Structure 1
């Protein structure tokens, strides 16, 4: 639902435009310092006679014409004192480093969307992703000549909450170390204020940028106390934007943890962040600038809030790149999330992956990359395991770039210390052998660990039960949906058996199985995705695909919570054979088809042949299915590697294209991409 729009003030003069003789307003003054998080402040309005104008130096305010018509504004106002100091520092450092006249001012932005997995980015910000692909990445497109994009495929969250991921990026230390030093200090006690400010001076990326001659800005739309518990209320930057969100909470019920999308006055909350950032970058043209923006749009499970903001993000990036095109300034924009968010299937490995695998994208002007020869190192690092500490070191590396080239032996580089080993993504390759432990990633959220290969001749009763239930379910579907004359399927053998253990505090950890089976007298190969656990999980119904799902549950009541104390669940059944969708849908012939009914039905997940010029989203839609990125692609590739002359992983996309007997993986996006091969393989999911 769109926000109610009222034109209650002139955006230039800030004159109130109510059709009344008076209005209730709040205009901040020196008694209202910007305070991060849930600070104990109540904003008192006053009645003013109209006409009335806010001061031109006012960055935010509240207007209420009557009980139902009310709005807020937020605009950037130049900090002339900070601007003058930054200009002096910039000039001084250029002289100290003997910087050449060809040096350009640099803009660095760290923009974080909270709780957004990489998959969620593609699901819910598809217009934004398409803009990146079609207008930046694609050759000879609108922005391809000026800008370059790097998509980091090995981005893995440390844990599944914000503080554990952001403290390493902002301070270069772990959350555990930060909390240990905080002890029993309070961000609301005046006696403890010095501790938080001192730590910002010593560790924070924004204060480091400030010392290196950058304008600085901090914006986080939180009204709850979470990250603020480690950073403090006051942030040592030139522009701190915190109070507008508390205005939103007091007068409009804004909550950064809400499930529903929040309007603050006439606009969605995220638009205030995007507009203010745009104004900030434009108002300090010709100066070095750093901004950290954190948006909590995605704090809910459906993805609806994020999808509503898609067009706004797309438009923001278009304006941003347009403004930096042919501009005598460099841009380095880190667009990322801190962690993902569970969907319904929270017990599955896929559910864990949604939480553990955020996205990380870097957009930069090509002149910055080429002038320092960063491209090869950045490209290599997009395929390695990324650490949150790498972001910290990279940001501090960037603060030096307007003045001099930095190397791994430079004193400026060696002084950037992090609690865990790290590299600057610009000048140092991430070690190939880096482990989750090296990157401080909790073992329960480490997605780079491979499945263990088990003996396929296993007589494990749980595995055999999963197989029996799956085949029984398939047979019942064949009889119901195809014909009562269908020959039943019988299990032949296990072709592949793989296991991944979750690490939990429970005595018996959940076991996640990949079971690939063949069928007697049939070419069909099925992949069963299942979980077995005797751990305790909060009662939920995580059935995403009910067609094959089977559970054995024993409920246990502890206090106010109901737990599953035993769970055997089949999440999905995938047919690994690549099929022609039209053949599946051909009319059933009793005499000729009763022995191959398994070829006449679609399963939870399906691989379909398609023409290379067709989008897979259209191919899947033709058979009333949806396209998605391949699930457990390694299982498919392992099973059919002998069917292709060669399998080439050529890029970071998810497509499967076949050309002259070779399978090319990842040249374009699986669902929306159009390749240049004759044939492709689409991955379609049945969601009924």
Structure 2
């Protein structure tokens, strides 16, 4: 992706437009125009924090954030439980060991520094020095005869099978202590060792974490120590680079490196690992991707002490491993991601005399089905159990780089906010909490405020530099992150309630709490009419079959009234939020957000409703960001839409009698799911006794006597107007505008409409 040079101004601060990377801007050149004077100070005053439930819960975001008076308060935190479960199938996966059983063994013996197998198979060893980036794994297979002397290799892949194309079932990956790294860390360590681990789950939003990793959530809920769940951790852009670059370097200008620029460590002098090397840390970085996701931005050989990179290129060769595959990814008898987690545990133990920093990037959930994430659950519980059983000062960041970019991420607000609000859970051990006893108060406050990756950089700098900075003064760590945006140490500073995306450099396009101003002057204008007509045209494309519109269940929609217009502009980007209704329904109300851009919208961001040239005064480009319904649309129309594969949010159904003529098969299927009974109980109770649900909306199906089973009504009368579906001594009375309640008490028999669960 090319870097767009356009600069936009928000609140007097220059940031890059959404069409390219939000790549920050602090650099050492005089031409940058950025002041090197940093006047940020810190207020260590403890915030007032009400008691929150200690149990983690998916819907805590709405319950805890919406009542607060915040400048940044997302309208949505992602898919509802029901919607998420309907979009992303729940799939269970077997263990890799069950899929690929094997009795033989092979291992790297670090004491003898040899590789040993208990069979006469074949093997391949890893390189002496690891690097990141797309690379062809060319090390040849060797037949095993006797123990193999080693140099610095850390992994071996082997098989006892004689089949040259067979599965390599045995993998051993070890962490070798590097004496030079250990010596350096001991010399610079000035306080008790600390273990800082960042475990990044690529493409995992906060809500997808709760939907799919039930065992991990349960484990965290059973911990004695506090676990802090950040609800408004906003992305700084679309891609992983806009997550790890500000985390590693703070507010640094960056762009994608060309292939011939990827060698070495491009930003070592400004890196978090250099900062930590100077303060008694050894460092470890890993990514389960044989690609340039990391190397295209930081270089192929960052000067961390330990890396895992080429192993996954070997995985491509010998296991058909691909990090975007919509299937379980086994390497040997373990899930591919587990090698990085196990290595982190060995690394933590082997260097326990000094401080440690780990960054592990897991791509397990980076795929389009939303199911493979489940393979993480058992492995995460195993990893967390072992890490948290270590009796030492430990800080864990369990986080996403961004949420999912699949499904309805650019047609619905819920989908787009799944991307904008990735996971961030922070944990500190009891040993760590004793060194900063007020930290739980700050963390409980901050977990319900807007945070960004810049805050993580500031927090890391302060955690690593505690013995170097004056007590209760964080201006050095804040200024090391950015001279433009004020950032916060999440453990020891309170984020203000009035913080906005602009304050922290988050582009408006990616902000989950974009501010809007009501603009009544735009309601009755030709431009607004034109834009709303474009929105309705898109709705009709989604709901009406272009081949035979008479066989659809949805009506063709036409604009009735524009109810309100809210706007926000930033340079080349102009956002308009419309609320409107259509002439096909008095009750239905829609909301849509539209972007009008002065420049062409890049291809990736045309997902969803697409983008097209838009002509009003001048040529611009239009993108519908999302469309949603503001009214309740449950009922028969929703059921029929679901059965036809139409999004019920976009559909206003035709008259039920017309649908019966055009779609008799699906209407009959809906009748088959219902049962009309007679009872003097509440219908909720009566249906429950039959192990059915009461369906208040089913009266729309039963507007004629012919719709009711003859065994229910001996006689039936049809009326017009509003009435309850009556029953008396075998006689039924139905109306085409029935009212019906599942919970209404009655002292005589009446009709109930039940539905199969």
| Structure-2 residue corresponding to 1:36 | 132
Q: 2:316 matched to 1:238?
A: no
Structure with greater Cα Rg: 2
Give the Cα–Cα distance (whole angstroms) in 1 for the partners of residues 316 and 141 of structure 2: 15
Whether 1:276 aligns to 2:343 is yes
CA contact (8 A) 1:39 1:233 kept: no
Is the CA contact 1:16–1:53 (under 8 Å) kept in the aligned structure 2?
Answer: no
Match of 2:631 in 1: 575
Aligned to 2:117: 16
Correspondence for 1:333: 396
On the 8 A contact 2:136/2:313 being kept in 1, the answer is: no
Conserved in 2, the CA contact under 8 Å of 1:162 and 1:338?
Answer: yes
Q: Is the 8 A contact 1:270 1:295 kept in 2?
A: yes
Note the C-alpha offset of 1:467. 8.3
Q: Secondary structure at the match of 2:226?
A: strand
- SS of the aligned residue for 2:243 comes to helix
Q: 1:114-125 residue pairs with structure 2 within 5 A? A: 114-125=202-213
Q: CA deviation at 1:245?
A: 1.3
C-alpha distance in 1 between matches for 2:297 and 2:532: 50
Looking at structure 2, the residues matched to 529 and 85 of structure 1 have their Cα atoms a distance apart, in angstroms, of 60
- The answer (yes or no) to whether the contact 2:532–2:559 under 8 Å persists in 1 is no
Contact kept, 8 Å, 1:15 with 1:54, in 2: the verdict is: no
Post-superposition Cα deviations, 1:122-150, rounded to whole Å, max 9, x if no partner, equal 33334323433xx2xxxxxx31x3x1112
Instruction: Call closer, same or farther: CA 1:286–1:598 in 2, change over 3 Å.
Output: farther
Describe the superposition over 1:636-668 as per-residue Cα deviations: whole angstroms up to 9, x where unpaired: xxxxxxxxxxxxxxxxxxxxxxxxxxxxxxxxx
Query: Shift of the alpha carbon at 1:26?
Result: 1.4
Quote the offset at 1:364 in angstroms: 1.2
Aligned position for 1:99: none
Q: How does 1:152-171 map to 2 (within 5 A)?
A: 152-171=230-249
Match of 1:369 in 2: 433
TM-score of the aligned structures, taking structure 2 as reference length: 0.60
Paired residues of 1:256 and 1:296 also in contact (CA < 8 A):
yes
Distance (whole Å) between structure 1 residues aligned to residue 612 and residue 142 of structure 2: 60
**Normalising by the residue count of structure 1, what TM-score does the alignment of the two structures yield?**
0.65
8 Å Cα contact 1:79-1:238 kept in structure 2: no
Q: What do the CA deviations read for 1:394-447 (whole angstroms, capped 9, x no partner)?
A: 11111134x578545368647734354222222223344333233222221122
User: Aligned in 2, Cα 1:552/1:450: closer, same or farther, shift over 3 Å?
Assistant: closer
Quote how far apart the aligned CAs of 1:367 are. Answer: 4.4
In the alignment, does 2:187 pair up with 1:89? yes
Q: 1:436 to 1:26 in 2, by over 3 A?
A: same
Contact 1:514 1:527 in 2 (8 A): yes
Quote the residue 1:416 is aligned against. Answer: 480
- 1:48: Cα distance to partner? 2.3
Equivalent-residue separation in structure 1 for 2:322 and 2:558 (angstroms): 55
Q: In 1, are the aligned partners of 2:132 and 2:300 still within 8 Å (CA)?
A: yes
Q: Distance in 2 between matches of 1:118 and 1:599?
A: 40
Counterpart pick for 1:113 among 201, 204, 209: 201
User: 1:223-273 CA deviation, whole Å, 9 max, x = no partner?
Assistant: 111321232222323322222112112222323344444322332211112
Structure 1 position 343, deviation (Å) = 2.5
Q: CA deviation at 1:120?
A: 2.5
- Partner SS state of residue 382, structure 2: helix
Question: Tell me, what secondary structure is at the counterpart of 2:495?
Answer: coil
Whole-angstrom CA distance in 1 between matches of 2:582 and 2:628:
14
2:228, 2:447 within 8 Å by CA — same for their partners in 1? yes
> Does 2:419 match 1:355?
yes
Task: Tell me the SS of whatever aligns to 1:165.
Answer: helix
Relative distance call for 1:468 and 1:80 in structure 2 (3 A) is closer
Q: Which moved more, 1:119-128 or 1:296-305?
A: 119-128
Unaligned runs of 5+ in 1: 95-103, 136-141, 475-479, 483-488, 544-550, 557-564, 602-607, 610-620, 625-688
C-alpha distance 63-390 of structure 1, shift in aligned 2 (>3 A): same
Closer, same or farther in 2 for the Cα pair 1:458/1:120, shift >3 Å?
A: farther
Taking a change above 3 Å as real, the CA distance of residues 570 and 420 of structure 1, as seen in their structure-2 partners, is closer
Deviation at 1:165, TM superposition (A): 2.2
Tell me, in whole angstroms, the C-alpha distance in 2 between the residues paired with 1:88 and 1:539: 47
Cα distance change of structure 1 residues 498 and 155 upon mapping to structure 2, 3 Å threshold: same
Match of 2:65 in 1: none
* Shift of residue 107, structure 1, vs aligned partner: 1.2
Query: Distance in 2 between the 1:171 and 1:525 partners?
Result: 49
What is residue 653 of structure 2 aligned with on the other side?
none
Question: RMSD of aligned C-alpha atoms?
Answer: 4.9
Structure 1: distance between partners of 2:736 and 2:591: 20
Q: Deviations over 1:362-407 (max 9, x none)?
A: 1112442354222222222222221222111111111134x57854
Cα distance in 1, alignment partners of residues 141 and 235 from structure 2: 43
Residues in 2 aligned to 1:131 and 1:622: alpha-carbon distance in whole angstroms? 37
Alpha-carbon deviation of 1:294?
A: 0.9
- Following TM superposition, by how much is the alpha carbon of 1:89 offset from its aligned partner in structure 2, in angstroms? 2.5
Deviation for aligned residue 1:517: 8.9
Q: CA separation in 2, counterparts of 1:454 and 1:595?
A: 43
**Map 1:198-277 → 2, pairs under 5 A:** 199-200=267-268, 202-277=269-344
Q: What is the total number of aligned residue pairs between the two structures?
A: 540
Q: Tell me whether 1:379 sits opposite 2:444 in the alignment.
A: yes
Asked if structure 2 preserves the Cα contact closer than 8 Å seen for 1:499 and 1:512, the reply is: yes
Q: Which has the higher contact order (CA 8 A, sep 6+)?
A: 2
> For residues 269-668 of structure 1, what are the structure 2 equivalents within 5 Å?
269-321=336-388, 323-324=389-390, 327=391, 329-348=392-411, 350=413, 351-372=415-436, 373-401=438-466, 403=467, 407=471, 409=473, 413=477, 416-418=480-482, 420-421=484-485, 422-455=487-520, 458=524, 460-461=528-529, 498=566, 511-515=576-580, 526-528=589-591, 571-576=627-632, 582-585=695-698, 588=702, 591=719, 592=722
Tell me if structure 2 keeps the 8 A contact 1:444–1:502. Answer: no
Does the 8 A contact of 2:577 with 2:593 survive in 1? yes
1:547 aligned residue: none
- Separation in structure 2 between the aligned mates of residue 499 and residue 129 of structure 1, nearest angstrom: 39
Residue aligned with 1:229, SS: helix
Per mean C-alpha deviation after superposition, the further-off stretch among 585-594 and 224-233 is: 585-594
How far residue 361 of structure 1 moved from its aligned partner, in angstroms, is: 1.3
In the aligned structure 2, how far is the partner of 1:58 from the partner of 1:126?
A: 37
CA distance in 1, matches of 2:452, 2:506: 8
Distance 1:418 1:41, change over 3 A: farther
Shift of 1:160: 0.3
Q: Do the aligned partners of 1:150 and 1:361 also contact (CA within 8 Å) in 2?
A: yes
| Compared CA separation, residues 530 and 432, structure 1 to 2 (3 A) | closer
CA 1:428–1:584 in 2, change beyond 3 Å: closer, same or farther? same
CA distance in 2, matches of 1:232, 1:398: 26
Verify the 8 A CA contact 2:185 2:282 in the aligned structure 1: no
Partner of 2:712: none
The 3-state SS of whatever aligns with 1:435 is coil
Q: CA deviation at 1:305?
A: 1.9
> Which stretch shows the higher mean deviation, 291-300 or 583-592?
583-592
Shift of 1:600: 7.4
8 Å contact from structure 1 (residues 400, 406) kept in 2: no
